[in-house]
Amino acid sequence: MSRALERLDELYAIGATRIGRSAEEDAAHALVARWLEEAGLEVSVDAGGNTFGRRGDARVWTGSHVDSVPNGGRFDGALGVVAAIEAAERTQAQLAVVAFRDEERGYGGSLAAVAAGGLPDAYLELHVEQGPVLERLGVPLGIVTAIAGQARGEVVIEGRADHAGTTPMDARADALVEAAALVLRARDAAATAGAVATVGRLEVEPGADNVVPARVTLSVDARAATVEELETLVAAIGFAPARRTEPVAMTGAPLEALRAVVPGAPELVSGAGHDAAILASAGVPSGMLFVRSLNGGISHSPDELSSDDDIELGIASLAAALARISR
């Protein structure tokens, strides 16, 4: 087993649930700080709780996060931090390895870093794909060209409660039937646009077996690669987003360095949000390298999996890219 996998196991032993700002996330950051010291990097913690290991003027950052969703996997976020430490030991480039705080609940650490200022000239993040594309293609690494925008909101559909046995079908105002139509509309609109949309929560009232549903509250999560595609998708589904993040492109020296060190690698749009999107939105040229996810691309689950060989190739490629942009 490689040292990277051993360290991922050490982080996972703290707990499969490492919610941001919890004792478990604190313990993960303490472990990362120890590894940074062992790598000969100067360790510090900023006002947002982000852990840094610096060498020299550190105008290039690399890293990810070590918090998790409830009962998450070994690789999401944590691999990016472990890989960054490994890559830093393979190059003498002046850089900073960063473990951001509280990514899963809304990018708390990276947003705090942006608010504090003093941002780097470039940022590189290695991450598991969290999807099945690279596995289906049979390739170990992919280059992210953009991170999809997200629109999230809640829809309330009003109907009329009636007796389930005595109300004819053509006399019903069934809120759940209308909600089902919206679910299918979201699926079809996303498929047509090459995007994704999810209805992940339904609350049906009054919630009785023998009552026609009077009210349904449902969540909508819509994601697309460009502003235009996201607006089209939201309009087609027919909901008013309460929260929205704009799509953001990976650009500049980090993207070109990845293209140089992994020539011919597939280029993907990330449907998941990442700390890289926060830094890129703040004007930092950023790049992301995906490592193939196995088990059908499952993520946010204990069944999350990437191979030792793929991880090693990712670390070597990250180190080479860092060396190129830190010249």
22 backbone dihedrals φ, ψ, rounded to 5°: -90, 170
The predicted model gives 190-217 an average pLDDT of: 96
Question: Please, what is the Cα angle at 308 between 305 and 310, to 5 degrees?
Answer: 85
Neighbours of 62 (CB within 10 A): 30
Number of domains in the chain: 2
Kindly state whether residues 111 and 258 are assigned to the same domain.
yes
Kindly state whether residues 131 and 175 are assigned to the same domain.
no
pLDDT confidence band for 75 (50 / 70 / 90): very high
Tens digit of pLDDT for each residue in 220-277?
999 999 999 999 999 999 999 999 989 999 999 999 999 999 999 999 999 999 999 9
Looking at the DSSP bridge assignments, the partners of residue 53 are 43, 97
Let me know: does 116 contact 46? Beta carbons within 8 Å: yes
Question: What's this model's pTM, rounded to 2 decimal places?
Answer: 0.91
Q: Is the pLDDT of residue 105 over 80?
A: yes
Provide the residue count of the chain.
Answer: 327
The pLDDT assigned to 327 comes to 79
Kindly state whether residues 171 and 264 are assigned to the same domain.
no
The predicted model gives 44-50 an average pLDDT of: 98
Let me know: does 51 contact 45? Beta carbons within 8 Å: yes
Kindly state whether residues 259 and 313 are assigned to the same domain.
yes
Tens digit of pLDDT for each residue in 125-138?
999 999 999 999 99
The pLDDT assigned to 194 comes to 86
Q: How far apart are CA 53 and CA 95, in angstroms?
A: 8
The pLDDT assigned to 1 comes to 76
For residue 119, what is the domain's CATH number? 3.40.630.10
- pLDDT > 70 fraction of the chain, expressed in percent and rounded: 100
pLDDT confidence band for 193 (50 / 70 / 90): confident
Kindly state whether residues 118 and 169 are assigned to the same domain.
no
Fill in the DSSP letter of residue 22.
S
Kindly state whether residues 125 and 108 are assigned to the same domain.
yes
How confident is the prediction for the chain on average, in pLDDT? 97
Domain that holds residue 316: 3-148+247-325
Q: Which of 244, 264, 280 is the last residue of a domain?
A: 244
Kindly state whether residues 102 and 165 are assigned to the same domain.
no
Q: Which of 228, 244, 260 is the last residue of a domain?
A: 244
The predicted model gives 171-176 an average pLDDT of: 98
Kindly state whether residues 51 and 127 are assigned to the same domain.
yes
Kindly state whether residues 139 and 157 are assigned to the same domain.
no
User: For residue 80, what are the CA distances in angstroms to 5, 155, 218?
Assistant: 12, 36, 34
Give how far the C-alpha of residue 26 lies from the chain's centroid of Cα atoms, to the nearest Å.
20
The predicted model gives 191-213 an average pLDDT of: 96
Q: Which of 217, 244, 271 is the last residue of a domain?
A: 244
Kindly state whether residues 168 and 275 are assigned to the same domain.
no
Number of H helices and number of E strands within the chain? Answer: 10, 14
Looking at per-residue confidence, does 194 or 102 come out higher?
A: 102
- Helix boundaries (H) for the chain: 3-14, 23-38, 78-89, 108-116, 133-137, 175-193, 227-237, 252-261, 275-281, 308-325
pLDDT confidence band for 171 (50 / 70 / 90): very high
